[in-house]
Every structure is written in structure tokens, then in C-alpha cells.
Amino acid sequence: MPVAGARVVVPLGPRKLTGVVVGEVSAADNSYKLKNILQVLDAGAFVPPDVIKLTQWVSDYYLAGPGATLSTALPPHGLTSRVDRFKTVRMVTLTAAGLDAVDRLTAHPRCAGDDDRSDGPTLGAKQKQALQILKGLPAGLSAPALAERGIAAASVTRLTTLGYVAVREERVDRDPFEHAVGAQRPDLDTARRPLTDEQQAAMTMLTPLAAARAFHVALIHGVTGSGKTEVYLRLADEVRQSGRGVLMLVPEIALTPQVAALFRARFGAAVAIQHSGLSDGERHDQWHRIRRGDVDVVIGTRSAVFAPLSNPGLIIVDEEHDTSYKQDETPRYHGRDVAIMRGKFAGALVVIGSATPTLESYANALAGRYSLVTLNRRVLDRPMAQVQVVNMREEIAAAGAEVVLSRALREAIKVRLAEGQQSLILLNRRGFATSVLCRQCGASLECPNCSVTLTVHSNQGLPSRPVPRRLGEGGSAEREGWRGRCHYCNFTKLVPKACEQCAAPYMERIGFGTERVEAEIREAFPAARVARVDRDTVRRKGSLVEILEKVAGREIDVLIGTQMIAKGHDFPECTLVGVISADVGLGLADFRSAERTFQLLTQVAGRAGRGERPGQAIIQSLVPEHYSVRLACDQDYRAFYEKEVEFRRAMRYPPQVAMVNVVVRGKTFNEAIDGAHDLAAATRGGRGFVVLGPAPAPLTKLRGEHRAQFFLKGTSRKAMREALQLALSRKPELAKRLSVDVDPLSML
């Protein structure tokens, strides 16, 4: 019998499929129709048994199919092929005969080999050069590396025939670090600098917890720039030396390359990296390196929580508040919560850290379920950024409704440019305009597949001159290339010059996004070197890294972007952060909108003044009195927490209760809402939870499908899970039109 975690070939109807053994049932058990395994592919476990156990927990907790869950834990091609797909390279080394030939060449540089004397066969110049190169390299050189030095394959072939060199295929691991920002920076080894008092206190508390070899969770609440990473590094070092592995989750590697680079600098080749931006080949190789036990530190995004690392003793979740830890397709797991479960199974210390912890985590810490470590001060007594709020209602009164840059922000950017310092400008909305609207009949441009309006983007980069407000004025929309795009399904079309409903030529742009901010800044500061980071500009692989490298190399003066630029970057030269509109998220029908806004503003303000010079943040808002804006400006997490948790308690929202969001899709709205009614009715009636709805989902139509939703809300997740499982078993026909989101982060 194969062990759990081994791959096997099994019959499924007429087909043969590869699967993974998750457990055993007795042959006498007749609740299954059993068939024989055709072939066992692995003698031992391919997927480690504790990872199998973790995926089973995920599939149970999140009500997701075991197959879909298990596949998130597999490497690329994990099941499609028996042969693991390593990349190989041809390594060329000198033989003993080749060594003799080089010695002769060196002894008689002018004559050796180039005449018919008894010393040996004639060699061409390139062949001689190849021998010289290889002489100093006992491990040899790869054929591509030789080619780079002008030695073609033909020369190698001839040398092989003469017996001067040997060629063998060698496996190479594709290394995603080769191209990472900062991967080669020499100043990263900071292991010997003294810790701050707060860092030291954190170590005093965490070291015994790590050494205890028992499950425990600690939350590090450390303000931006307080040096959390150094604490992670030192703990990781201790755990490695005790012989256990370290797993570190980060929101997005491309956005926080410095963290990965720091770990590489400290621990060298023992670090593996795993994230979805890698090529299949890279991911495959990294997975197998970890599985072989070649590494003891794994850094990766969400799915790295399933990395086949044996015996993890420390699991770190950096920026635990980041929403990218939640997967928005089946299985809809939260990387932080799965990390905590993994720590529980492994008897490991789990350290989660943030400057703006989620209410859930902070509540757990206050309740004593997690240890709480607080870092209140920035390292080296650097001051927090000084934050100023600009009331945009006053700016609009002074400069008109079209104003994007307030006077204060404009002035502050100007000062930075004059002093050669960098500015970071945030607007969490991409595109040029939010939508277009016909001034005559009010029609807007809508997505045919989704219930949203199309966002306006400029077609060919940015227009070179100021853009008229009305698209009909001064040049056709086609020539200027305005394009409406759906941010959900990517449907696009050119923005028409005249309204499609009433033919009036008054299509007006409403609202603005990052493209517009870029245009305004280029216009206001023509000499500034400007770059923009949002999902539109970083579509091409590597382009984000390129931009960030330019920022780090001070080739950019003003960086504009969406929340991508608010994440953990450490730009020491940035002394100004501007927020164009703090209110973008506040209008959303989501009980977490205040928390999101507070987190985003606090995080982005934390990007300023991380170097020698103090920083300033300017936050523009139409509602400066809103508590999430006000308390972010005060950088007062605790006050925000108290206020927000009170609101959640009053409204019975998480963390007070748990929620499950169930969306039923349909070809028509009736089909969707009828299905939702049936399922909700079958779910109702249990103890410990209520069922709310069904109702049309906020996005009633998405990618051509209609959607209705209902919620389960209560204190017993177990009761909710069991009720839903039972309801689903009664309505199996709905399974294909359903998504279940346990602990949803978005209510859409």
C-alpha cells in the first residue's frame, strides 16, 4: 500500500488519472465503490504528509473540494508527468589530455599545436582560447557561458572529439533571485548592528517561545520603520541553528523584494523563494529544492504556506493585514490563518506582524490568545512622518471641481524637486477617468458583461497636451484614443464621440485615476522624472522591478501609483508622500471600508522619511473629519481599533461574529435568486447562526453571469459549516453555480 502523499495512477471511468494518496479505507468499507490502483509512482511521500493534512483542513474549513485544495500544494506538472522537469545545461570541463595541451600551449605559445610537430593536432584560435579559459575552472563552464565568450558549439565539439574536453548534462535550478531588486547589493548583511531597545525586548520575549518547540502565536505590532524585519531575521537564524525550518509569508515578492534579498544576504543559498510570478520552471525547481531538504528557509506569497518544508519551527506572516493573503477563487483560504494551522500541526511559533494589524488579529492578542509585541518607535529615533490633511472641499471652492493637486501638495512636490528628493503620490484608482457620462441624457458607458461602468483609459500612453474635459472638444476621441475598459472582465471599446443613447456630443469624463494624476504632474513639473506603478504599467513581467530599481537608483523624482506603492518598500530618499484622495475606499458598501482606509493611509504615510531626513505626508480628503482619516493622520492605531471594534460589536460584524458569504450564479437573475432562495432555506434553522438574505449581490452581474447572495453570521463556524454542507448535499445541482467564501474579506 502506498503511503499518504505518494502519487498513484488510478482508473476513472475509461480514463487513467494521476492522483495523490490522502488516506486509506478498509476494503470491507462498502460506502465506496473501490477499484485497484494501477500504478504507484512514488515509493515515499511526494507531498509531505503534514502538508496533506493541512490541505484537508483547508478543504474542510473553507468548504472547498479536496482536489482543488490539494493542487495548490503541488508543484507545476506535479501530476501531469512522472518525470520531474528539471532544466539541464551542458557543462564543459577540461580532461587530463586537455590540461597537457594547455601546458604545451603555454610553454611554446607560438608554436604549440599550430604545426605538424609531434606535440599534437592543430588547434584553431578559438579552440586554444577555450582551453585557456577552462584551465582555471576545475568545475568547468556551461556551453552557454562559453558561447557568451565567443566559443561556439563547433569548437567544443572538435575539442570533445580530440578528447581535450568532456561534456556532461548537469541539472540547474532556475533561480528567481537572479533578477530580484537588491539581490546583489553588498550592504545587506546587517547581522552585527546592535538592536534597538524595543527590538531587543521583542527578542527577549520571542526567543524562548521559538525554543519551546510548541505551538504559539505572537503578533508584532510595530509602527512603519520600527525594524520588524530585523526581528524576523534574528529569530529565523536561531530557529535554523536549532535544526528546524523557517517559513516566511509576504504579500507580494515583487513589491517587497528587499525582504527576500535581506534573507538571501543573511542565509545565502539556503533560502528558497516561491510565488506566483515565477515561471513554471522556476516554481518547479524551487519546490523540489525545498522537498529535497536543500533549503531551510522558504520565503513566498500565500501559496507558499503549503511549501514542502520539513519540520518548520518558525512561521512568519509579514504584513498580516494585507488582503492579498486571501485567495479569491476556490479554495478561498487566508494564508495567515492557514499558516497558523500549519504552526499548530507542526508545533511551531507563528509570528504575524504589521503596523496596522487586522481587527481580528489584534482582538486575539488583546484576548490573550496571541502574545503581543509592540514596537512603538522607529529605529535610530527617526521621527514618524508629519501628516497634514487638506480639506478638498476648500480646494474645490478655490480652484473648481476639476482640481486634482491641492496647493499644499503642489508646493511640497516643488520643494522636493528643488532639493533633489523623491515624492510618492498615491491614488488607489487606476485609469484616466472613472467613467464617462452624457451631459444630455445621463447615459454612461457600461460593461455588457458586468454591472459596472467602464473606466476610461488613454489608448497610446498619455496625451501629450492638456486634455479637454469634454471628449468632443478639440480632436476626436478616436484620435486621442480614449478607451473604456471593464476592470472586472477586461472588456474594452473606444469611447464614442457622441452618446450612444441620444446622439448628443456631450460625453463628459467623471472622476479621475492614476493616469490623470500622472498627466497633471507632468504638466505642472515638465522637468521632473515621473513614473507610474499600477496594474496597467506593470503588466509585463519585470517591468515593476525595473521601475522600482530606477526609484532606488534615484532616476525617478515622482512615483505615482495605486496601493501597490504603499506596501513594504523602503525608499530612504523619499521624504514626501501625497495621497490624492483618501476617500476612494470609503464609499464602498463594505463594513471593512474604514479599516482598509486607515491601513492604506497609515502604511503609505509610513513610506516617508525612512532615511536620514524626516518625512512629510499630505493627505487630501473630502471628508477630513472621518475617523479613519483623522486617526491615520494621528497614526493612532489603538484609538482606531477601539472605535472600529465598537462599531463592529454594535453591528454584529467580524471579529465579533464569523461570516460566510454564499453567491449563487445563474444565466438569468431569476435563476440566480431562485437558487439562492432554495439553498438559504435549506441552510436556515441551525443553532448558533442566522441566515441573512438572499438578495442581489452588489455586483449583480459579473462576467456575463447574474448573481444573488446570502450570508451566514454567527459565533459557531462549525455549525455554519455543517448546515451548509447538509444544504448542499440536498441541492447538489447547485454546486456548479456556487461560490462559498468563509471569512470573506470582500462583500462583493
What minimum distance in Å lies between the beta carbon of 493 and Zn ion?
11
**Residues 70/75/79/85 CA torsion (nearest 10 deg):** -170
- 379-398 residues near ligand ADP, rule: CB under 6 A: 379-380
- In the block, residue with C-alpha cell 605538424: 116
Question: Between residues 303 and 434, which has the closer beta carbon with respect to Zn ion?
Answer: 434
Stretch that binds Zn ion, among 239-247, 447-455, 496-504, 679-687 (CB under 5 A): 447-455
Q: CB under 5 to 8 A by kind: which of Zn ion, ligand ADP, none does 380 bind?
A: ligand ADP
Our finding on whether 134 is near Zn ion (CB under 5 A) is no
- 461-500 residues near Zn ion, rule: CB under 5 A: 486, 488-489, 491
Instruction: Using CB under 6 A, pick the residue from 149, 171, 193, 730 that binds ligand ADP.
Output: 193
Are 505 and 498 contacting, i.e. CB atoms less than 8 angstroms apart?
yes
Q: CB under 5 to 8 A by kind: which of Zn ion, ligand ADP, none does 449 bind?
A: Zn ion
Question: Residue 702 has what DSSP assignment?
Answer: E
Instruction: Using CB under 6 A, pick the residue from 196, 514, 599, 621 that binds ligand ADP.
Output: 196
β-sheet bridge partners, residue 710: 662
| Closest to 737 in 3D by CA, of 706, 695, 700, 710 | 706
- 536-575 residues near ligand ADP, rule: CB under 6 A: 570
Are 305 and 247 contacting, i.e. CB atoms less than 8 angstroms apart?
yes
What minimum distance in Å lies between the beta carbon of 317 and ligand ADP?
13
Our finding on whether 303 is near ligand ADP (CB under 6 A) is no
Instruction: Using CB under 6 A, pick the residue from 48, 75, 176, 222 that binds ligand ADP.
Output: 222
Question: What is the Rg, in whole angstroms, of the alpha carbon atoms belonging to the chain?
Answer: 30
Are 101 and 131 contacting, i.e. CB atoms less than 8 angstroms apart?
yes
Rounded Cα distance between 643 and 626, Å, is: 12
Our finding on whether 128 is near ligand ADP (CB under 6 A) is no
Question: Between residues 325 and 689, which has the closer beta carbon with respect to ligand ADP?
Answer: 325
Rounded Cα distance between 676 and 724, Å, is: 12
232: Cβ contacts below 8 Å, ≥ 6 apart: 248, 316, 318, 351, 353
Are 51 and 290 contacting, i.e. CB atoms less than 8 angstroms apart?
no
β-sheet bridge partners, residue 709: 663, 695
Question: Between residues 227 and 463, which has the closer beta carbon with respect to ligand ADP?
Answer: 227
Are 680 and 710 contacting, i.e. CB atoms less than 8 angstroms apart?
yes
Q: CB under 5 to 8 A by kind: which of ligand ADP, Zn ion, none does 198 bind?
A: none
Stretch that binds ligand ADP, among 224-232, 480-488, 654-662, 725-733 (CB under 6 A): 224-232
Our finding on whether 227 is near ligand ADP (CB under 6 A) is yes
Summary count for the chain: helices (H), strands (E): 22, 28
Question: Residue 375 has what DSSP assignment?
Answer: E
Our finding on whether 445 is near Zn ion (CB under 5 A) is no
Grid coordinates representing 609 are 522619511
Our finding on whether 450 is near Zn ion (CB under 5 A) is yes
Question: Between residues 184 and 464, which has the closer beta carbon with respect to ligand ADP?
Answer: 184
Question: Between residues 197 and 642, which has the closer beta carbon with respect to ligand ADP?
Answer: 197
DSSP letters of 236-267?
HHHHHHTT-EEEEE-S-TTT-HHHHHHHHHHH
Question: Between residues 234 and 592, which has the closer beta carbon with respect to ligand ADP?
Answer: 234
Our finding on whether 21 is near Zn ion (CB under 5 A) is no
What minimum distance in Å lies between the beta carbon of 180 and ligand ADP?
16
What minimum distance in Å lies between the beta carbon of 448 and Zn ion?
7
Question: Between residues 450 and 680, which has the closer beta carbon with respect to Zn ion?
Answer: 450
Instruction: Using CB under 6 A, pick the residue from 229, 286, 563, 603 that binds ligand ADP.
Output: 229
What minimum distance in Å lies between the beta carbon of 748 and Zn ion?
13
Provide the 10 A C-beta neighbour count for residue 406: 22
Give the total of residues touching ligand ADP (CB under 6 A). 16
Cα distance between the two ends of the chain: 46
3-state secondary structure of 597: helix
Our finding on whether 714 is near ligand ADP (CB under 6 A) is no
Rounded Cα distance between 559 and 577, Å, is: 10
Q: CB under 5 to 8 A by kind: which of Zn ion, ligand ADP, none does 254 bind?
A: none
What minimum distance in Å lies between the beta carbon of 701 and Zn ion?
8
Are 484 and 445 contacting, i.e. CB atoms less than 8 angstroms apart?
yes
Rounded Cα distance between 166 and 542, Å, is: 36
Binding mask 345-384 for ligand ADP (x = CB under 6 A): ----------------------------------xx----
- In the block, residue with C-alpha cell 456556487: 738
Our finding on whether 72 is near ligand ADP (CB under 6 A) is no
CA 240 centroid distance within chain: 25
Stretch that binds ligand ADP, among 219-227, 412-420, 468-476, 577-585 (CB under 6 A): 219-227
The site for Zn ion (CB under 5 A) is made up of 447, 449-450, 486, 488-489, 491
The site for ligand ADP (CB under 6 A) is made up of 193, 195-196, 199, 222, 224-230, 379-380, 570, 610
